[in-house]
Amino acid sequence: MRVSVETTSGLERKLTVAVPSDEVDSAVDKKLAESAKNVRLPGFRPGKVPMSVMKQRFGPGVRQEVLGDVINRSFQEAVVGENLRPAGQPSIEAKSFESGKDVEYIATFEIYPTVALNDVKGFEVTKLTCEIGQTDVDEIIAVFQKQQGKLVEVDRAAEEGDTLTIDFEGFKDGEAFDGGSGTDTALELGSGRMIPGFEDGLVGASAGDERTLNLTFPEDYHSDELKGAAVEFKVSVKGVQAQELAALDAELFASYGVEGDDVEGFRAEVQKNMERELKSAIDAHVKQQVMDAIVEAHPALEIPQSLISQETDALRSQMFQQFGGGVSPDMDLKSILPDEMFAERAETRVRLGLLVSEMVQDLGVRAEPNKVRELIEDIASTYQDPEEVINWYYEDNNQLMGIESRVLEDAVVEKLLDQASVVDEVTDYQDALQRTRAATQQ
């Protein structure tokens, strides 16, 4: 096998590979001979079809199959022999696939960069601290009561938090505009679903009222036609419903996995879950700051575009699934969620992945089995049957590898925190959760 390598630009390589024809031809003959044992053709006894007939009938198809195998095998041997680490799948261009001639092809691909680590030290990390008070617990329980409660019709003027059933139609310069109307629409006042002023304009309305709202679309609205536009909405209020909270009883407690009708026991369980969520949020907030410092310390790292493309596709699919979308074979996700939406985040994640992987080796950290078990048990504790979840992780290698990767990342973070300036900041429960969500969604 002959191999030559050309550096075209940056991380891109062109690998020219030639495989002797006799190696390919013998593989084709061997495969045809094996197939002949089971082939049934009219006029021939089973297993007695002549090789000349086999080549005539099945030769081209078998050769294509063998070529695929030869390319895969020879490519792997070539990159190992040339000490190359391909990032992503190669693009294969045929130079010579003719029978009787050496098989020759060009594989174009990117390689993983050589990662030179810089010092990551002297950076500042803000660590949020807060105590969960009884008011915080009350607020969470009120959310649970609302989730399990129901809407009931009321014969009074609408208040903030009520849900109205409305018909509405929007007009710009006296003409109805696309997307500006709705029938039997349920709208919670204060939810922020509509443009500024719409919901405020319906506070105090009663069933049967007709209201005209003169509003202005925000300057950053997604439709160019409506950005900053003055519009008029005609609204018919068909009903007013108020939220009736669910009672604090065994039925409510059971819906959140707590047995019995002990209110104090339920509150204690809620607070324990809040404390677990708070710790996870604070740890994630610290971790994200360390990860940001790693990226900032390595601005010049060259990144394979193929890896960015793969990460972009993964982020796009993840977002689509989060919104409840099902992916069908004929669906063009790129037209719905274009690459530009994910490009910056995908590049950051790829950069970080390359850097952290190198740091794991440089710092000599390991995914300690006890740490892996501890993380799995922590995740499992939020489920009804923790033991079942623990077993699932240990029985699925892909899931277990994901946990081990998180443990390795945490070990890197712990090492780098020794070189950081950590500043404590007192905050409240909701602020801690909101800030960590904002940080980790970057």
**Distance separating alpha carbons of residues 152 and 149, to the nearest angstrom:** 10
Q: First CA to last CA across the chain, in angstroms?
A: 47
In a 13 Å sphere around the CA of 273, the CA atoms on its Cβ side amount to 16
Residue 189, pLDDT score: 97
- Mean pLDDT across 426-432: 92
Residue 269, pLDDT score: 92
Distances from the Cα of 424 to the Cαs of 69, 90, 190, 282, in angstroms? 59, 49, 34, 11
C-alpha angle 202-207-213 in degrees, rounded to nearest 5: 30
Residue 338's CB is within 10 A of a number of other CB atoms, namely 12
Distances from the Cα of 23 to the Cαs of 70, 105, 173, in angstroms? 9, 15, 77
What pLDDT band is residue 190 in, cutting at 50, 70 and 90? very high
Residue 30, pLDDT score: 80
Q: Do 308 and 343 meet the contact criterion of CB atoms below 8 Å apart?
A: yes
For the stretch 190-199, contacts whose Cβ atoms lie closer than 8 Å and that sit 24 or more positions apart, written own/partner, are 190/160, 190/161, 195/221, 198/233
Residue 278, pLDDT score: 94
Is the pLDDT at 440 greater than 70? The verdict is no
Weakest mean pLDDT among 17-31, 201-215, 259-273, 391-405 = 17-31
Is the pLDDT at 397 greater than 90? The verdict is yes
Q: Do 163 and 202 meet the contact criterion of CB atoms below 8 Å apart?
A: no
* Chain segment 335-351, per-residue pLDDT in tens: 778 899 899 999 999 99
Alpha-carbon Rg for the chain, nearest whole angstrom, is 32
Is the pLDDT at 422 greater than 90? The verdict is yes
Is the pLDDT at 199 greater than 60? The verdict is yes
- Mean pLDDT across 174-192: 95
- Mean pLDDT across 28-40: 72
**Distance separating alpha carbons of residues 15 and 188, to the nearest angstrom:** 61
What pLDDT band is residue 327 in, cutting at 50, 70 and 90? low
- Mean pLDDT across 206-223: 95
- Mean pLDDT across 141-168: 95
Token match 């060009």: residue?
106
**Distance separating alpha carbons of residues 6 and 68, to the nearest angstrom:** 23
- Mean pLDDT across 386-411: 95
* Chain segment 85-143, per-residue pLDDT in tens: 999 899 999 888 877 788 899 999 999 999 999 999 889 999 999 999 999 999 999 99
> Helix crossing, 343-363 with 397-417: angle to 10°?
80
What pLDDT band is residue 56 in, cutting at 50, 70 and 90? low
Is the pLDDT at 58 greater than 80? The verdict is no
Residue 26, pLDDT score: 80
- Mean pLDDT across 280-303: 93
SS3 of residue 240 by DSSP: strand
| Full set of structural domains in the chain with CATH | 2-111 (3.30.70.1050), 124-131+262-440 (1.10.3120.10), 150-244 (3.10.50.40)
- List, in order, residues 6 or more apart from 221 with CB less than 8 Å away: 195, 227, 228
Residue 409, pLDDT score: 95
**Distance separating alpha carbons of residues 246 and 265, to the nearest angstrom:** 18
Q: Of 281, 299, 297, whose CA–CA distance to 439 is shortest? A: 281
What pLDDT band is residue 441 in, cutting at 50, 70 and 90? low
Sheet arrangement for strand 2-9: 2-9, 12-19, 103-111, 86-96
- % of the chain with per-residue pLDDT over 90: 72
Point out which residues pair with 170 in neighbouring strands. Answer: 233
**Distance separating alpha carbons of residues 372 and 364, to the nearest angstrom:** 17
Distances from the Cα of 132 to the Cαs of 168, 273, 302, 318, in angstroms? 43, 11, 45, 32
Residue 329, pLDDT score: 53
In this structure, which amino acid lies at residue 106? I
What pLDDT band is residue 27 in, cutting at 50, 70 and 90? confident
Residue 380, pLDDT score: 93
Query: Which of the 8 DSSP states describes residue 354?
Result: H
**Distance separating alpha carbons of residues 139 and 286, to the nearest angstrom:** 26
Q: Of 317, 337, 336, whose CA–CA distance to 327 is shortest? A: 317
Query: Which of the 8 DSSP states describes residue 208?
Result: T
Is the pLDDT at 387 greater than 60? The verdict is yes
**Distance separating alpha carbons of residues 28 and 378, to the nearest angstrom:** 55
Residue 22, pLDDT score: 85
Is the pLDDT at 213 greater than 90? The verdict is yes
Burial class (CB within 10 angstroms; exposed 0-12, middle 13-18, buried 19+) of 421: exposed
* Chain segment 229-269, per-residue pLDDT in tens: 999 999 999 999 999 999 999 999 999 888 899 999 999 99
Is the pLDDT at 202 greater than 70? The verdict is yes
More reliable by pLDDT, 197 or 37: 197
Q: pTM for the whole thing?
A: 0.76
- Mean pLDDT across 295-320: 92
More reliable by pLDDT, 86 or 68: 86
- List, in order, residues 6 or more apart from 408 with CB less than 8 Å away: 356, 360, 365, 366, 367
Residue 133, pLDDT score: 93
In this structure, which amino acid lies at residue 342? F
- Mean pLDDT across 47-69: 73
Weakest mean pLDDT among 10-19, 23-32, 68-77, 219-228 = 23-32
- Mean pLDDT across 190-200: 95
Residue 439, pLDDT score: 63
- Mean pLDDT across 50-57: 67
Residue 97, pLDDT score: 84
